[in-house]
Chains A and B, each alone.
Chain A
Amino acid sequence: MTSLRRRSVLRMLGLAATVAAAGAGLGASAQDRNTVRIGYAISKTGPNAGGAGITTLPNYQLWVKDVNDAGGLKLPDGTRLPIEVVEYDDRSQTEEVVRATERLATQDEVDFILPPWGTGFNLAVAPLYDRFGYPQLAVSSVTDRAPEFVERWKNSFWMLGGGHDYASALAGLLKDARDRGEINDKVAMISIADGFGIDLVTAARPALEEAGMDVIYDATYPIGTSEFGPMINEAAGSGADSFVAFSYPPDTFALTQQMQVADFNPKVLYLGVGVGFPRYKELHGDNATGVMSLGGIDPGNAANAAYRARHREVTGQAPDYWGSVITYASLQMLQQAIERVGLDREAVSREIATGTFDTVLGETKLENNQLRQLWWTGQWQGDAFVGVAPQERAGASKPVLPKPAWGAP
C-alpha cells in the first residue's frame, strides 16, 4: 500500500513535469527558428550526482555559456543561433535516463542531445540515440567494447578508452620500473565490485601477468565500503612495492587517509576515480605527490591551461584531470561540425566521425568513432596531475618513483 501510494505520487509529479516541459516546448518550437535546442538528461541527484557534477554538467554549462556569449552556434551560412537548453534530472536511475532521453527526442524535439554520465547510462540510451538518429558523444564511459558498439550504433562515439587500455598502460609502467630495479615484481591489488572496478581488474590481471608482475594480494570489496584497514594491513604485510586500487571517489579519499594513518608507504600507489579531482590535491596537499591514477594532462598545453582557468572562473570549481577536458573537447567537436555542415544530424555525425577538429586537446581526430589520443596513466607532480603514459606521446612527463613517504598534510 505504502509503495503503491508513493509510486502514484511520483508518477503524478513526473506527469506534471512532462506537461510543463511540453508546454514550454510548444512556445519555443515556432516555425521560424531562432534557437538551437540542445537537451540532456543527467544525474543531478542520487549516487551518480557526485561524478556527473564534476566531470559532465559543469562542462555542459560552460560550453553553453561560451557559445551563447559569442552570439550562439555558428551555422555554415555564417549566421549564429543561441542555444536553448532542455535539462532533465535522471535521479541516477537508468529507467529515468531512458525515459527522459525519449522525451527529449519525441516531445521536446531537441536538435541535439548531450549524453548522460556513466558507462551504464550511456549504454542504456545508445539504442535511443540510434533510433532517433542523434549523434552520441559518450565521454564518461570506459568500455573495451567500443569497436563493437560502433558497429551496432553507427552514430555513437566513445571517447574515454577502455579498461584494457588503462590496465595495459599501468602494467607497462610497472614493468619498466621493475626492469630499472626501482620496484620489486610484487603487486597488491584491490578493486570495487562494481562496473568500473570489475572492468579494470579483469583487464589488469592478464596484463600484469604478461608484464611478469606477481599479483600476491587480489581482493574485491563491495560498493559503500568505508573501512579499508584490513585490506591495507594485508597489502602492507604482503611485501609488495606496488599498491593498486581500482576504486570510486569515496573509497579513493578514504584509502588515502587510512594509508596515512597506517603509515603504509608503497613505492607505487595507483588509485582509481577521484585522484584527478581538484579536491584530492586540496585535501592532501603534498601527500598527493607521486600518487598515480587514470587520466592526466599535458602541462605544456596552453589551450588546456586556458580552459582550466576559464572553467574555474565560470563554474566556480576546477575541472578534474581526466574526463572534464575530454567532455569540453567533445562539445567543441559538435560545435565545429555544426559550423561546417549545419543542423542536419546525419551530416553532423558523419563530420564528427571523419573531420579533424581544433579543440582544447589540440588537433583532435577520431579513429573508428573513438578518441584514442588519451592519457592512460597520470601522476601528481607539483600542482598538476600530469600524463605519464603513453611515454611516447608528445608532452608526456617522466614518472617519478618511488612515491615520497607520507608527511604532515
Chain B
Amino acid sequence: MLATTAIAGLVLGGTYALVALGLTLQYGIARIMNLAYGEIIIAAAFLAYVLYHGLGVNPVAGLLVVVPAGFAFGYALYGLMMRPLVARAKDRAGLETDSILATFGVLFVIQGVMLVAFGSNYTSYSFLNVGVDVLGATMAANRLLALCLAVALAGGLYLLLTRTRWGTALRAVAVAPQSAPLVGIDVDRMARFAFALGAALAAAGGVVISMYQTFTATSGVVFTMKALIVVIMGGVGNLPGALSAGLILGLAETVIATHVDPGLTLAATYAIFLAVLLWRPSGLFGRAAR
C-alpha cells in the first residue's frame, strides 16, 4: 500500500516537474517571467493532437516535430518582443514587471489563435493508456513516460549546465548579467537561447500531457500556476530544484488523497509551498537572496 502510494506520487510529481522545467530556465536565466508559458504547453498539446488525429503521427514521434517548433517559437518571441524590453530595462525588477505585462498580452494572443483554430471545446485523445506494473502498483504508461522524460531532461540539462563551458556561460548570465560581458559572454544570445530552450521544454511537456489530460484552448493558466509554484519552491533557475519540488508535491498530494482526504490535496500543496517559503525564502535549492 505504501509502495503504491509512493510510486503513484512520484509519477504524478513527474508531470509537475516536467511542466516546470522550462519555466525555471526562462525565469532563472533569461529573467523573463513568462505568463504565456501555459499557453505554449497547450499549443504543443493541440499540435500533438493534430499530428496524431490528422496525420496519424505517434505523439512520441511527434515530439521530434513539436519540440523544435517550440524552440523556434521561443527564439522568435524573444527576438521580437523580449529583446527590446531587456534592452531598455534599468534593473532586474523593471524587466520582471515589463515581461509580466508583455507576456500577459502574449497569453491572450496565443489563446485567441487557438480559440479560432480549435474552438473552445474539450480536447483529448488517448495514447499509451495501458497499465504497467511497477513494483506491484499499476501505473499508466503515458504517466510513466512523463516521469522518465522529466528525470532525463532535468538530469541531462543539469549536467550540461554544470559540466560544460556553454553551461557555465548560461549560469554566468543567470547570476550576473551585468558582469558576464566582461568575460566575453554574449548575454543577449545566451538569454535568447535559454528562453527558447524553456519554450522547447514547455512543448515537450505539452505533448506528454496531451496523452492523458483533457485540455481546452483556455486551460493554460492552470499549468502556469502549477509550474510557478514548483519553480519558486525549487529555487528559480534550478533544474534539480524543480524536479525535486515537483516530486515532493506529487508525493504529498497522493499521500494526502490516499490517507487523509482527497479534498485536502490543494490545501496540502499550498501548505507545503508556504512552509518551504518560510523555511527557505529563495526555494529549496535557491541561493540566498542578494
Contact = CB atoms under 8 A, between A and B. Distances in A.
Interface of A: 1-2, 5-6, 43-47, 49-50, 52-54, 92, 190, 193, 219-222, 224-227, 229-231, 233-234, 249-250, 253-254, 257-258, 260-263, 274, 277, 279, 283-284, 317, 409
Contact of B97 (A2, A190, A250, A253): A2
A272 to B, nearest CB: 13
B8 A279 contact: no
Nearest to A282: B125
Contact of B214 (A193, A220, A253, A263): A253
Contacts of B213: 226, 250, 254
Contact of A257 (B101, B104, B140): B140
B57 interface: no
B121 A317 contact: yes
Contacts of A279: 121-124
Contact of A231 (B139, B218, B262): B262
Interface residues of B, number: 44
Q: Tell which of A53, A230, A249 has the most Cβ of chain B within 10 Å.
A: A230
Contacts of A43: 120
B129 A230 contact: no
A178 B254 CA distance: 33
B130 A261 contact: yes
A262 B134 CA distance: 12
B82 interface: no
B124 A52 contact: no
- Which of the listed residues A6, A193, A227 has the most CB atoms from chain B within 10 Å of its own CB? A227
A50 B121 contact: yes
5 contacts: A45-B111, A227-B254, A253-B122, A262-B131, A317-B119
Nearest to A409: B126
Contacts of B131: 261-263
B56 to A, nearest CB: 16
Given A254-B212, A254-B213, A283-B126, A44 B120 contact: yes
A136 B238 CA distance: 54
Interface in B255-290: 257-258, 261-263, 265-266
A221 B122 contact: no
Contacts of B215: 250
Contacts of A5: 101
A219 B140 contact: no
Nearest to B217: A49
Going nearest first, the 9 A-B pairs with the smallest beta carbon separation are A49-B120, A53-B120, A230-B257, A222-B266, A230-B258, A250-B214, A221-B262, A253-B214, A261-B140
B212 A257 contact: yes
A234 B120 contact: no
Among B104, B111, B262, the one with the most A-chain Cβ atoms within 10 Å of its Cβ is B262
Contacts of B265: 221-222, 225
Interface of B: 4-5, 8, 12, 15, 97, 100-101, 104, 111-112, 115, 119-126, 129-131, 138-140, 212-219, 222, 253-254, 257-258, 261-263, 265-266
Contacts of B124: 253, 279, 283
A234 B101 CA distance: 45
B10 to A, nearest CB: 12
A193 B265 CA distance: 12
B262 A224 contact: no
A222 B121 contact: no
Contacts of B15: 226
Contacts of B111: 45
Nearest to B15: A226
B272 to A, nearest CB: 15
B254 A229 contact: yes
B83 to A, nearest CB: 21
A53 B4 contact: no
A340 B287 CA distance: 74
B263 A193 contact: yes
Given A261-B131, A279-B124, 15 more contacts: A44-B115, A44-B120, A45-B112, A49-B115, A50-B120, A92-B218, A193-B263, A219-B262, A220-B262, A254-B212, A261-B129, A261-B140, A277-B122, A279-B122, A284-B126
Contacts of B112: 45
A317 B15 CA distance: 31
B201 to A, nearest CB: 19
A11 to B, nearest CB: 15
